Structure 1
Amino acid sequence: MQPVVIIGSGMAGYTLAREFRKLNTEQELVMICADDAVNYAKPTLSNALAGNKVPDQIGLGDAVKMATQLNMRIETETWVKSIDAEKHQLTLEKDGQVSTQDYSKLILAVGANPIRLAIAGDGSDDIHVVNSLMDYRAFRDSLDNCSTGECDDKRVVILGAGLIGCEFANDLQNTGHQVTVIDLAPQPLGRLLPNHVAQAFKQNLEESGIKFALGTTVEKVSKTERGYVISLANGQSLVADVVLSAIGLQPNINLAKTANIATSRGVITNTLLETNQADIYAIGDCAEVNGTLLPYVMPLMQQARALAKTLSGQSTNVHYPAMPVAVKTPAAPLTVLPAPIGVDVTWDNEEFDDGMLSKATDAEGTLRGFVLLGATAGKQRLALTKLVPDLIPVSA
């Protein structure tokens, strides 16, 4: 029998491999990845500074350790050039050499790529993105240069006031950096929070020292002798020693497209995580399950457990219970359970001394989402989660 092959060594790939090995210790398992296949939890990158973790401390195991631990073969620095769905065969390239790999089941765990804006200026190529441990090493190297006196004031400009941008801003501000966050939206976390909560969240971050330039975008990044000048569309300009882009991710669908695998925003799957091609599945940030993209840890874990059972012969639909997202911003503790897209909701607000609780209810009075800001409100997380209907029920 041909092996089960996983393309991708991120959290999705390794979590699936781990769950599969709990159920099947003998089936040949192969992981193929374009990088060094170090196992790490990507969410730790946005608060590693405050946690006093250097890049070398973030990795949980290299490819050799993980291959031994999970009894699988890991092909590092290897590119999948094409998928022949009919032949159940991959074409690979490593060190300029082309080879093939057969599979019985194939799992796309290829993640998502950072969105990059077209920004003018001779400094635009120096803008960092952090979507991997390798990216984070480069970002930390630039920050460390500031610590050795090569920068004036450890000034960091972040493009994007979404979840990752705000988490990095809080982490940097807590470790002695001067942070300004730029976003075209009029408020941070605009896609996750109702306006009244977003304003309170912003105020809490501002009180910690973080600055915001909202309702505008970056037009140009220019190099200077001591850093960069960031020119904004509203005529304002900022100076920075390091620039980080965190404006979002796009699921990696290019490889799937070449194999005639159906895609939309992500790789389209049903609740069995099956694509339209036989024996090919998708999981993690690249997977659009029943029309829903959920690039968070808890959905990934649910997917991995279900797919491991399916690959082991027990056909299992993924189950999405209500899964709140904890935002790692200690200056403004925040938990969000977004209401489903397309559901009309009414927000009810309750104020506390240290924050607020906002509930989103539908026309029938059913709780469909909530936002908890502050430690007092956060204590209600478990009780409220139990009241929210499953996004994908067990019987899907």
Structure 2
Amino acid sequence: MNLPIVIIGSGFASYQLIKTIRRTNTECDIHVFTCDEGHDYNKPDLSHVFSKQQHPEDLITLSSSDFSEQYNVILHSNTWVESINPEQQSITANGEKYAYDKLVLATGSHTFVPPFHGDGCEDILTLNSLKEFSAIQQKILDAKNILVVGGGLIGTELAMDLATTGKMITLVEPNTHLLANMVPDFISLPLEKACKEKGIIVNLSDCVQAVNKQEQGYRVTTSNGHSYYVDCVISAAGLKPNTQLAIEANLTVNRGVVVDSKLQTSANNIYALGDCAEIEGKVMAYLQPILLSANALAKTLLGTDTALALPNMMVKVKTPNYPVQLAGNTSTDIERWSVDIDTQGLCAKAYDVNNLLTGFVVTNERVKNAFPLFRELNTTN
């Protein structure tokens, strides 16, 4: 009897891998273990659920039972995987042992909540899954004043979405500008302006120090001495890969679960992809690298070893009031910028020491130039 492919996790990476496998092989045994219901949904849509007045069920593209039937998988929903035994090639879940031929870690990530002081920290909300959306939806709907921790990609998108619903939003970011890990300040300044035009209080170069309960809400204080009274606090301070299972199984873990070019971990027949995987020293929690990883890993799992090749990739910032698209390297070792600004928006090209195009950022109406620039970027690199 052939042992199955076992996948831990039911997020985008896991389900994209299954869909890719099934395009080639419809019969091999696949078991999926997930601690939630296992519905198929598009996680990036969570950034806009409040302005669209959506409910959790609106995001589900395929129920867990329908997914299991359509893709011929055995789905172990609401099941906790307790341990991995690489030597015996087995996992233990809910006290039972399951053997595998190949094991895939698609355990995803969780929202990082900084270690603040105060008795209100345990009430800080996060929005990184359908399950979390279900848990916090009513609290967000009832709130009038909300503080968002983190002015990166997710925090900025979420703040603007909530502001669109008429709520008073305060955005606290420790860096000097929004999207600091993605773009230079001159590009994010118009985004900051767009946020303020939506009524968002943008508090830069500052950190939340404490969250304390009040009779009707929370008092949030910052390192620069600001104090805000809000109905709830949402952390969007970044994502941390879920690596605990890998650590306990003595797999090599750095920021994420370290994998080689074939997405294999330090243990034979154990692979990782998606938000939990560290590829070439980076954790890339974006759709395109996950799609490419799923395509390569599906071939490897089915018997054809395939190395992952990562080209330049495009990132879209889903802020309707100030749309932004970028690709390539836009944050480190930039020799010079070529910037063109007009009434239609901004087009900024980044060049390296050899005067080669290394990345670009386009905004507003200029986003229509993204794909021509993307082709140019891939030609020069």
User: What corresponds to 2:129 in structure 1?
Assistant: 132
Partners of 2:69 and 2:360 in 1: CA distance: 43
Answer yes or no: is 1:374 the counterpart of 2:364. yes
Bigger shift: residues 164-173 or 316-325: 316-325
> What's the offset of the Cα at 1:224?
2.3
Q: When the two structures are superposed, what TM-score results if normalisation uses the length of structure 1?
A: 0.92
> What's the offset of the Cα at 1:250?
1.1
Matches within 5 A, 1:102-251: 102-146=99-143, 154-251=144-241
SS at match of 2:265: coil
Partners of 1:276 and 1:288 in 2: CA distance: 12
User: What corresponds to 1:92 in structure 2?
Assistant: 93
> What's the offset of the Cα at 1:202?
0.8
Query: Which digits, 9 at most, give the CA deviation of each residue in 1:307-349, with x for residues without a partner?
Result: 1111122222222222111111011111122517764442221
SS at match of 1:388: helix
CA RMSD of superposed structures (Å): 1.7
CA contact (8 A) 1:106 1:279 kept: yes
Partners of 1:307 and 1:50 in 2: CA distance: 36
CA spacing shift, 1:327–1:342, aligned 2, 3 Å: closer
Query: Which digits, 9 at most, give the CA deviation of each residue in 1:206-261, with x for residues without a partner?
Result: 12222211111111212223322211111111121121110001111111122221
Any stretches of 5+ residues in structure 1 without a counterpart? 147-153
Bigger shift: residues 54-63 or 108-117: 54-63
Partners of 2:23 and 2:33 in 1: CA distance: 20
> What's the offset of the Cα at 1:196?
0.7
Answer yes or no: is 1:339 the counterpart of 2:329. yes
SS at match of 1:30: strand
Partners of 2:135 and 2:90 in 1: CA distance: 35
Candidates 319, 322, 328, aligned match of 1:329: 319
- The AA in structure 2 aligned to 1:282 is A
Partners of 2:142 and 2:51 in 1: CA distance: 18
Matches within 5 A, 1:259-338: 259-338=249-328
SS at match of 2:40: coil
Answer yes or no: is 1:387 the counterpart of 2:376. yes
Partners of 2:88 and 2:76 in 1: CA distance: 21
Partners of 1:338 and 1:180 in 2: CA distance: 31
User: What corresponds to 1:56 in structure 2?
Assistant: 57
Partners of 2:135 and 2:142 in 1: CA distance: 11
Query: Which digits, 9 at most, give the CA deviation of each residue in 1:81-122, with x for residues without a partner?
Result: 2111121111112xxxx1101000110001112112122222
Partners of 1:341 and 1:205 in 2: CA distance: 22
Q: Give % identity.
A: 34
> How many residues are aligned here?
380
Extract structure 1 runs of 4+ deviating beyond 6 A: none
> What's the offset of the Cα at 1:174?
1.0
Partners of 1:24 and 1:390 in 2: CA distance: 35
Any stretches of 5+ residues in structure 2 without a counterpart? none
CA contact (8 A) 1:322 1:390 kept: no
Partners of 1:370 and 1:180 in 2: CA distance: 29
